[in-house]
Amino acid sequence: MPTQAEIYNTEGDKYEALITREDYQGNILKSLREITTLENRFVLDLGAGTGRLACLIAPHVSHVRAFDISEEMLRVCREKLTASGLTNWQVEAADHRQLPVDDKSADLVLSGWSLSYLAVWNPETARTELDIWLGEMKRVLRPNSCIVLFESLGTGNESPIKLKHLQDFYPWLDEVGFQNKCIRTDYKFESLEEAEYLSRFFFGDELGDQVKENNWVILPECTGVWWVEMQG
């Protein structure tokens, strides 16, 4: 089974097939609007992947710049945004610790299911990498702007759980002042066969077996939303 890092570098279309099934109830956009205004905002989407958040907000914001380190993910992101007919976007490869963005130029930073990898992929220097990222956010954001993060609190769970591999990430968010809440972003698949195939592809055999055993055409997913306002 490929690692998630390998999937991000090689399996853009299959990954897109999975994430288009998530949040069939529309809770991501609803939760964003409860936290901050989208209209007339210049937005950075960091770790944009195939454009889940960028495509969701593009019809509502002034401009969105989507960044990711994977050209394969960005290939799909560009295709989707081009097909939307919108022109208020840019898609670029960049590490979100060092962005090709002017100082104090953005109004809102979004990052979905991405920032935590700084801790997961750099276990020995997790706090340092996260602090570098936060410093970069302070550089690119205008005063009194907002950061909103999304991260999993359990796939296949009806109630939120803190994932073991993110044990160094959650406390850091609290320490630097993020508020948080939990939403449901359940996956709704077209068939049990699709649910099992795509779940097994990304999450592994254990969850694939659960999907099959529970006949989960709707796969429960708890998602944490963290946000903080950057003071001027």
Q: Please tell me the predicted confidence (pLDDT) of residue 193.
A: 98
CATH classification (class only), 4-154+162-189+223-227 = alpha beta
Instruction: Please give the angle made by the CA atoms of 222, 225 and 231, to the nearest 5 degrees.
Output: 170
pLDDT > 70 in the chain, percent: 100
pLDDT single digits (tens) 35-49: 999 999 999 999 999
pLDDT band at 232 (very low <50, low <70, confident <90, very high): low
- Single pTM value for the model: 0.97
Map out the domains of the chain as residue ranges: 4-154+162-189+223-227
pLDDT single digits (tens) 171-217: 999 999 999 999 999 999 999 999 999 999 999 999 999 999 999 99
Q: Please tell me the predicted confidence (pLDDT) of residue 223.
A: 98
Q: Please tell me the predicted confidence (pLDDT) of residue 206.
A: 97
